[in-house]
Chains A and B, each alone.
Chain A
Amino acid sequence: RKEVEQDPGPFNVPEGATVAFNCTYSNSASQSFFWYRQDCRKEPKLLMSVYSSGNEDGRFTAQLNRASQYISLLIRDSKLSDSATYLCVVTSYSGAGSYQLTFGKGTKLSVIP
């Protein structure tokens, strides 16, 4: 079983649509959770952290369910500029004060005019 699994995608949605991404992780000792955005041939950039209480940043809402080891990202009112690959990222403690990121394969989103 892969450590971090995401929807395979791609998601092709019209502008203004609401789209949801799901992610599951296998390591129950995982500490922190993030969604990153990666544009084509660019480095990943942090989109938002994910908390059990849920958090919202504008059109983006992230949710964590530790019991189910499940993370979600909801994007409302999709914009053309939201087109990118969204990476689910989980961290775990790797010893000596260091944390290791494990990336999902990513879900590609294309927002269509």
Chain B
Amino acid sequence: GAVVSQHPSRVICKSGTSVKIECRSLDFQATTMFWYRQFPKKSLMLMATSNEGSKATYEQGVEKDKFLINHASLTLSTLTVTSAHPEDSSFYICSARALADSTDTQYFGPGTRLTVL
């Protein structure tokens, strides 16, 4: 099956620093990658949709200048949380849709747990 990796799996940082999270599709090319956030005991919420070579589309209420997304290749998308604050502490999960896949299937990465002190 399609494999998506994320790095790092866990990060602890100080308030005010920036954190970059990588999402890679390992054995397929992904035209579209999605970034989600999940707070404890809450459902996954889509933050943004990222298409290779174009600007990401952000969901309402998600600050594009705070959550920078880059999708420079068909196998890599990055999410940078700039000037992180404790309220940004969450579980960030990416998913990818295969280039050759005409269905809605998204393959999820293992997630990155961010803790901002």
Binding site for B on A (CB under 8 A): 4, 31-32, 41-46, 87, 91, 94, 96, 98-106
Instruction: Determine if A45 and B108 form an interchain contact, defined as CB atoms under 8 angstroms apart.
Output: yes
Q: Residue-by-residue, is B51-72 near A (CB-CB < 8 Å gives 1, otherwise 0)?
A: 1000000000000000000000
B32 touches A44 (CB 8 A): no
- Say whether A46 contacts B105, CB under 8 Å: yes
Question: What are 12 contact pairs spanning A and B, CB under 8 A?
Answer: A32-B103, A43-B93, A44-B44, A98-B49, A98-B97, A99-B97, A99-B104, A100-B46, A100-B49, A101-B34, A101-B44, A101-B46
B80 interface residue, CB < 8 Å from A? Answer: no
Does B28 count as interface, using CB distance less than 8 angstroms? no
Please state if B104 and A43 are interface contacts (CB–CB under 8 Å): no
- Interchain nearest-CB distance for A53 vs B (Å): 17
Given known A-B contacts A44-B44, A87-B43, A101 and B49 have beta carbons under 8 A apart:
no
Contact surface of B with A, Cβ cutoff 8 Å = 32, 34, 42-46, 49, 51, 91, 93, 95, 97, 103-106, 108-111, 113
Check if A43 sits within 8 Å of B42, measured CB to CB.
no
Nearest neighbor of A94 in chain B, beta-carbon distance: B49
Q: Which residues of A contact B34 (CB under 8 A)?
A: 100-101
User: Min CB distance, B32 to chain A, in Å?
Assistant: 5
- From known contacts A42-B110, A44-B108, infer whether A98 and B46 are also in contact, taking CB-CB under 8 Å: no
A42 to chain B: which residues have CB within 8 Å?
Answer: 110-111
Determine the distance from Cα of A4 to Cα of B44 in the docked complex, in whole angstroms.
12
Cβ A103 vs Cβ B104 within 8 A: no
A32 with B91, Cβ < 8 A, contacts A43-B110, A100-B46 known: no
Collect the chain B residues with CB atoms within 8 Å of residue A87's CB: 43-44
Question: CA separation between A103 and B34, bound complex, in Å?
Answer: 13
Whether B43 and A104, one on each chain, are in contact in the complex, defined by CB atoms closer than 8 angstroms, is yes
Q: Which residue of B lies closest to A4 (CB)?
A: B43
Could you tell me the distance between the alpha carbons of A70 and B1 in the complex, rounded to whole angstroms?
29
Min CB gap B42→A, angstroms? 7
Give the distance to chain B from A59, nearest Cβ to Cβ, in Å: 21
| B42 contacts A105, C-beta separation under 8 Å | yes
Distance in angstroms from A108 CB to nearest chain B CB is 9
